[in-house]
Structure 1
Amino acid sequence: MTLRASIIALPALAVLGINAPAHARESAYTSTATDKGCVTSGTPTPEDEDMGNVSLKCPGYKDYPFYFNAYDNRESTYFGHLSKEILDGAGETFETFNYIGDKIEWRLDDHGVPRATILRYMIQNLNPDTSEPDKAHEGQVLVISRVGQPDDMTGCITAYVDALENKDANDIARKLADEQAPGFPCGKQQPKFHGKTGKLSGYPVYNYPDLSAAK
């Protein structure tokens, strides 16, 4: 995969064929490709290199970077301007092996500032007959995250939506991204699923630093 050459901003209601009001929130889309423009974040150990574990800082939306971490076939992502405590200590993902989709949706406020992201995670559940993952047992979860700002340096996962169980999963995720994510109390409250949840959605892993200890 290669990074998208351009960033596309679209009114949230345009895809529905509705004339959006002037104050409507917008989405911008960027790639999750890590083969161009990314730099290693931190110093990988020989064990990390042998296992294929990586921590990367990648181009995101304008000057808001995208952080990608992979450890033991499980991935975690963070966005925006983040403190050292979060970059070194956070790793929210799922118990089951997983991988992220190829597109990040950035939700922009009325001033065009990215306040939240929506990213699809593929959950690699095992086929009970073969003990191997396959497409028939793969879950899909929309993961909503707060984007770190220069004045707060705080970002985290804020909510989950099972994309297979909810026909309106994208609408639910955008509403959460616009209304819940910007003020979500990272480190004080754990994210949870919203809407219907099925057996393929997996179990989130919460690994987040105590930010109060850093002050």
Structure 2
Amino acid sequence: MISHAGTIPLILLLAAAPSAARANDSTYTDLDTDHCKTLSPEDAEGGGISLQCKGLKDYAVYFKEGDLRQSILYGPAGEAYIDGVFESFEPFNHTARKIEWRLGPDGKPTATIIRWFVENIDPATGEPSPKVEGQVLVVSKVAGEDGMGCVVGYVDALANPEPNVLARQIADTKADGFLCGTDKADFTGVRGPKAADHTHSFPQ
């Protein structure tokens, strides 16, 4: 009688291989707003501006700023989304310069992660203060063939011990099936007092 005991480890190894191949990966780019194409000129009164910046390969980054608040859209977004989407936070805010792109099994970017700095108001002074500044990792869906991209989730980077791990989990599990303008993006993990309310504006 032939023993099959020796084949078990090989079978287990082969069974695990497809799972390993499906693991998502990350790559990084810099957000360089000094070298972008201007889509709409800066509004001297409100300080608003809309830019198309270099992203990952052919995937552009659309950066907006208005009233000292910023918004970012990624990938081949449709004109209605480029013009009409603005997702940010209620207090004044600004983003970091490093973008993490989450790649699918085919190597194409499916989501991004970027750190947002939220300039909360210090109750003692009535002004923004570094003492109460919030930091939030914002996870966004990269626009696909439908031209729709948007924020899919948030992680309070100050209240969670491994915020980047949580953000990658959101990117890998929620971005693909997330319906922009319909599904609601919210916080995952612990949300502390410095993680301000987020805002969303979509085209009609």
Tell me, yes or no, if structure 1 residue 40 matches structure 2 residue 34.
no
Aligned to 1:71: 66
Q: Which one has a larger percent helix, Structure 1 or Structure 2?
A: 2
Which runs of no fewer than 5 residues in structure 1 stay unpaired?
1-19, 211-215
TM superposition outliers: structure 1 runs of 4+ over 3 Å: 20-23
TM-score relative to the length of structure 1: 0.82
Structure-2 residue corresponding to 1:113: 108
Give the Cα–Cα distance (whole angstroms) in 1 for the partners of residues 37 and 47 of structure 2.
15
CA distance in 1, matches of 2:50, 2:71: 9
After the TM superposition, which residues 125-164 of structure 1 pair with which residues of structure 2 at under 5 Å, given as runs?
125-149=120-144, 151-164=145-158
Q: Deviations over 1:95-147 (max 9, x none)?
A: 10000011000000111100000011000011111222222110001100000
1:102 — aligned with what? 97
Choose which of 176, 200, 204 in structure 1 pairs with 2:198.
204
- Name 1:83's counterpart in structure 2: 78
Are the equivalent residues in 1 in contact too, given 2:21–2:105 (CA < 8 A)? Answer: no
Query: Is the contact made by 1:79 and 1:146 (CA closer than 8 Å) also made in structure 2?
Result: yes
What is the distance in 2 between the residues matched to 1:30 and 1:50? 31
Structure 2: unaligned runs, 5 residues or longer:
1-18
The RMSD of aligned alpha carbons is 1.5
Note the C-alpha offset of 1:50: 3.6
Cα distance in 1, alignment partners of residues 134 and 72 from structure 2: 18
Q: Deviations over 1:22-56 (max 9, x none)?
A: 432111111112112x1111x347xx134321100
Distance, in Å, in 2 between the alignment partners of 1:67 and 1:44 is: 14
Aligned residues: 186
Aligned to 2:175: 181
Q: For residue 174 of structure 1, what is the amino acid of its counterpart?
A: R
Q: Which has the larger radius of gyration?
A: 2
Cα offset for 1:175?
A: 0.7
Residue by residue over 1:131-182, the C-alpha shift from the partner in whole angstroms, topping out at 9 and shown as x without a partner, is 2222211000110000012x22110011111111111211111011011012
Deviations 1:55-113 (A, max 9, x none): 00000000000010000100000000011111111101111000001100000011110
1:206 deviates by 1.5
Amino acid at match of 2:89: F
Is the CA contact 1:26–1:109 (under 8 Å) kept in the aligned structure 2?
yes
1:2-36 per-position Cα deviation (integer Å, ceiling 9, x unaligned)? xxxxxxxxxxxxxxxxxx94432111111112112
SS at match of 2:96: strand
